Chains A and B, each alone.
Chain A
């Protein structure tokens, strides 16, 4: 096993683990997987094994969790992860146009990453911002009331 957190991440991991009673360290698995994904961009088998050591659980226990939740990427994705909400309220306010525009602009299908590995395009379920649809997440930032022009501006504004 070669993977290990940076000292800063290691410190954050310890803070996280301390939130749970010592006999229930396993509860820290989701926050630690988020941390791992921030560190390495995705959750590899090695990352799962490393997280398992932190919470003193068998690696399979971590794998069980990591493979269930949609937010954990099992393989590397682009620098910018674009997630467009496609649930009913956003569909009613035109998320379809946004997705189509992004597909054309980036020249990829939903679920794919651009060859330069800058963008990954995904659809997600409701982001709880339904009054401001259509909405999309770009990495951690939520953009609301989207128009096609705004989508262009947002993408152009990314380095």
Chain B
């Protein structure tokens, strides 16, 4: 690992008062804005980002350059930087905004310039009180220094950027929910198609929604070039990413790494291993919505593609480590509580499905589960998946539920058979890889369809 790549975190950790624009400029900040606006055409910025292979850091891993190239050819266009960060186990955007707000603003300016945008917002979750205030100050400083406003640096390019607060709803992280929320409506996600933000977004105009970390990476790409960015990571996952470690790990925190690192190495070498040297039981690798992995499945790299091959997802890069003391039914019950609370209630499968899953899991956890409950849970999952307006139903709903049940089936069965909470020893708690495949979800699906 080349330490020189850890720019985002190194800047934050080694430069005091980086949140002040003067300090930021002293360390080379905003030079990319000078460079791009004065020396590059907008298309050249788009090309650099496309060539860099940068994939969105908001969860879906969609190539950023491609997203930009899909913008409908109409004006005005808008930018929404997604700082809703509500996916449990993700705290990278908070750290980035707390420590390095101008990097994000730089990325937003570059993105706007590249895409012919003159007005943008950063949608920040409402609980980030201090961050919103700090971001307002940072924008004000950027206006004072002439990096925002009319005729930026005398180039004729106009741009206004503002903060917009959320108010405690996870669904506002979903890009069309975010747009509805920004417009002043309930954040009910829109149907896609036709409402892809790039086609019909904020106020019906073509809109880019990008994550905070993606914006910071755009600034890095323009600063150092696409080749430099591609020099890190792999072809599938270029650059480095901010990974978060939390749960039962010795050194929880945020780490900027290339995606070539394996999940095992991330937990044991970077994170120092399991707290109290207990046995490892389960890992959620990319935010709470990502399907769970057993201790047998950790020799997979953090690349988006490899994660997908392993049946899970790179997601937001937030890793939850669970040791042998954790009851898997209880852990899933917690996740289902979250899903129940955060379902926006717009569409029936999700609004009704989440409470069902939650209630059944509570029943099993409390020892009143019935044999048929496991099939019933999977059946509910089947009836949610693909039948909802947005991915929420799957994300914190179906994916964790199905993966926990299929992989930790013995523990769920033990709860039902013994009519009480039983935390099985790690060796017995989960199915080995071969069995998982045999038990593939397809079996349940076939039965249910």
Contact = CB atoms under 8 A, between A and B. Distances in A.
B165 A128 contact: no
Given A68-B187, A71-B167, A131-B91, A21 B244 contact: no
A125 interface: yes
Nearest to A61: B184
Given A26-B184, A129-B91, A89 B165 contact: no
Interface stretch (A98-106, A108-116, A132-140): A132-140
Contact of A131 (B86, B130, B254, B337): B254
B129 A125 contact: no
B184 A27 contact: yes
B398 interface: no
A76 interface: no
Of B88, B121, B165, B166, most A-chain CB atoms within 10 Å:
B88
B199 interface: no
A128 B86 CA distance: 7
A147 interface: no
Contact of A92 (B87, B128, B326): B326
Interface stretch (B150-158, B189-197, B245-253, B350-358): B245-253
B185 A64 contact: yes
Interface string B309-349: 00000000010101000100001001101100110100000
A127 B252 CA distance: 16
Contacts of B331: 88, 91-92
A71 B168 contact: yes
Interface string A59-85: 001001100111110000000000000
Nearest to B93: A128
Nearest to B127: A127
Nearest to B320: A89
Given A125-B170, A125-B342, A130 B183 contact: no
A29 interface: yes
A126 B338 contact: yes
A126 B90 CA distance: 9
B246 A133 contact: yes
B187 to A, nearest CB: 7
A82 to B, nearest CB: 13
A97 B139 CA distance: 40
Contacts of B129: 140
Interface in B144-190: 160, 162, 164-170, 181-187
Nearest to B166: A30
A33 B183 CA distance: 14
**What does DSSP make chain B's interface, helix, strand, loop or mixed?**
mixed
A19 interface: yes
A54 B146 CA distance: 31
A24 B202 CA distance: 10
B167 A27 contact: no
B74 to A, nearest CB: 16
B252 A87 contact: no
A45 interface: no
Interface in A134-158: 137, 140
Contacts of B183: 24, 26-27
A88 B186 contact: no
Given A27-B184, A92-B247, A34 B203 contact: no
B168 A91 contact: no
Nearest to A126: B88
Contacts of B198: none
A9 interface: no
Contacts of A28: 184
Contact of B247 (A21, A24, A89, A128): A89
Nearest to B123: A30
Given A21-B203, A69-B167, A125-B86, A131 B335 contact: no
Closest 5 CB pairs of A and B: A69-B167, A26-B184, A71-B168, A126-B88, A131-B252
9 contacts: A71-B126, A91-B331, A92-B320, A93-B246, A126-B88, A128-B91, A128-B94, A130-B252, A140-B129
Given A70-B169, A89-B247, A130-B246, 18 more contacts: A19-B160, A21-B119, A27-B164, A27-B183, A64-B185, A68-B186, A71-B126, A71-B167, A87-B338, A88-B247, A124-B168, A125-B342, A126-B338, A128-B90, A128-B127, A130-B247, A131-B91, A131-B254
